[in-house]
Amino acid sequence: MCSTGAVSIVHEDDVEWVNTQRGTVFENRRRKLAAAAGGERIGCSLTEVPPGKTAWPFHAHLGNEEAIYVLEGRGTLRLGEAQRTLKAGDYVAFLAHEDAAHQVINTSDAPLRYLALSTMNPTDVVVYPDSGKRGIFAGGAPGLASRTFTAFVPDEAGVEYWEGEPTGEAEARREAEIEEQVDDQLEAMKKRLDLD
């Protein structure tokens, strides 16, 4: 790596591969180029997906814009219900929007290599339409390991805005219940006194 203060240069061969694999569907290896060069606001990884695999679940970011540039190989880009062929030289921009859900699948018999770029806003919500969940990320630098808050929740797991907040309504109900109990006890005492 060569660094001159505000500029840093790394060669891909100097950046170690990071491997990710889940089950028989998801597999990729990445060289986190931007992180190795000290990038702060733009992320860039050299990504390689083996034949028949996909790198990540079908998803859309609401807080970060992404893009890919295909360097080598062929694959399929899933965009909602549509599918498009990807080949070397294709550049695709994914806006930070729920309608930009996407997934890159290597449907060829050779490795698919592309640059994956993104803005690096620390706060993001990621929508996962296939599994019906949302990922919520905040604080720290982007990247699951450095976040100060990360949560994955089902789409239907929601509460009203004021749920659980001390609005005074519960306290007022409790006071009314106590007053009613005291009144009932006083009435009971009066009846007992009248009976004696």
Q: What average pLDDT does range 6-24 have in this prediction?
A: 95
> pTM for the full model?
0.79
Separation CA 195–CA 29 (nearest Å): 87
Q: What is the pLDDT of residues 170-193, one digit of tens each?
A: 777 888 888 888 888 888 878 877
Token pair for 149: 């808050």
β-pair type (8-9, 82-87): unpaired
Instruction: Note the pLDDT of residue 195.
Output: 59
Domain edges within the chain: 2-154, 166-196
CATH of span 2-154: 2.60.120.10
DSSP 89-117: T-EEEE-SSGGG-EEEE--SSS-EEEEEE
Q: What digits encode the pLDDT tens for the residues 128-154?
A: 999 999 999 998 765 555 778 888 999
Q: Supply the pLDDT for residue 142.
A: 57
Can you tell me the distance from the alpha carbon of 120 to that of 76, in angstroms, rounded to the nearest whole number?
26
- Residue 13's pLDDT band, with cuts at 50, 70 and 90, is very high
Average pLDDT over residues 52-75: 97
CA–CA dist 161, 159 (Å, integer): 6
